[in-house]
Amino acid sequence: MEWFLYVGIYCLGYLSCRAFYFMDASRTSINMLKSAQLTALLVLARSMEHFSYSRAFRLHHMKAAEATDHNIQAFVYRFEDELMRFKKTSIQGIVKAHPKVFQPFVDFEDWKGGMKHLEENKDLLELIRERSVQK
């Protein structure tokens, strides 16, 4: 009769271990997902810096070459359109890359939301950077 107790305790222990392992793996997956999102947003923010530098360089070059105001204005319009398209498609790419299971963990849907999310999680980015430097 007492072997029922042993089997019951063994099954309870085994199921508890599996449940805790599943919860730990889920937490690790979500943390990895959030750090990947932040890294991608950081890369996009840095690419905006490079876009800005290239725009300033091109405008300086056009003015030095004495381009007409019409050509300069056309360049600015095309550049702004391309920049908006890049922002939209890059954020959509990040959001669409997540399976439906992880969709609730995506805290942004557009560029402003993504940059706000990046700003709110600067401390986590700093922690990730510190840990990667220590290794």
Q: Is residue 27 part of a domain?
A: no
What pLDDT score does 35 carry? 85
The pLDDT averaged over each successive group of 10 residues in the chain (135 residues) is 83 88 88 88 91 93 91 93 94 90 88 92 80 70
Q: Is residue 103 part of a domain?
A: yes
Q: Is residue 18 part of a domain?
A: no
Could you tell me the residue range of the domain that residue 125 belongs to? 32-134
Q: How many domains does the chain have?
A: 1
Report the C-alpha gap between 71 and 82 in whole angstroms.
Answer: 16
Question: Could you give phi then psi for residue 29, rounded to 5 degrees?
Answer: -65, -45
SS3 state at 65: coil
By the 8 A CB rule, do 128 and 35 touch? yes
What pLDDT score does 127 carry? 80
Q: Is residue 81 part of a domain?
A: yes
What pLDDT score does 56 carry? 93
Q: Is residue 5 part of a domain?
A: no
What pLDDT score does 53 carry? 94
Q: Is residue 11 part of a domain?
A: no
